[in-house]
Amino acid sequence: DGGITQSPKYLFRKEGQNVTLSCEQNLNHDAMYWYRQDPGQGLRLIYYSQIVNDFQKGDIAEGYSVSREKKESFPLTVTSAQKNPTAFYLCASSWLSNQPQHFGDGTRLSIL
């Protein structure tokens, strides 16, 4: 059963701490994305990757970092430089950049 798995579902961050959100897909998609969603808002693109070992900043990349060492995996690190990290984070994948995206069920990040 193909899909995208995000973990954990809930995550709490302490002041000054970096945290990493996991995203794994078995759809054999080349492109992967990280979005941030705030209450009542649409999705804002943080980072995207169109191929292994390559990624680009989206609209709100400051305070975040990513890696793409394997086609299946695209982890997102929320660094201590991100001063307002509380949000719902969604990972997605697709064949091409403007084609339908498949989404995971998100990670909700809060500050302790």
Report the alpha-carbon distance of residue 110 to residue 45 in Å, rounded: 19
Of 34, 38, 51, 31, residue with least CA distance to 99: 31
Given the rule CB under 8 A, which of 12-20, 67-75, 76-84, 102-110 is the region that contacts another protein?
102-110
Contact between 77 and 19 under an 8 Å Cβ cutoff? The reply is yes
Name which position in 13, 27, 30, 45 contacts another protein (CB under 8 A).
45
Over the window 47 to 86, marking each residue x when it contacts another protein by CB under 8 A and - when it does not, the resulting string is -x--------xxx---------------------------
Which residues are bridge partners to 49 per DSSP? 32
* Residues of this chain that bind another protein (CB under 8 A): 4, 6, 33, 35, 40-43, 45, 48, 57-59, 90, 92, 97-106, 108
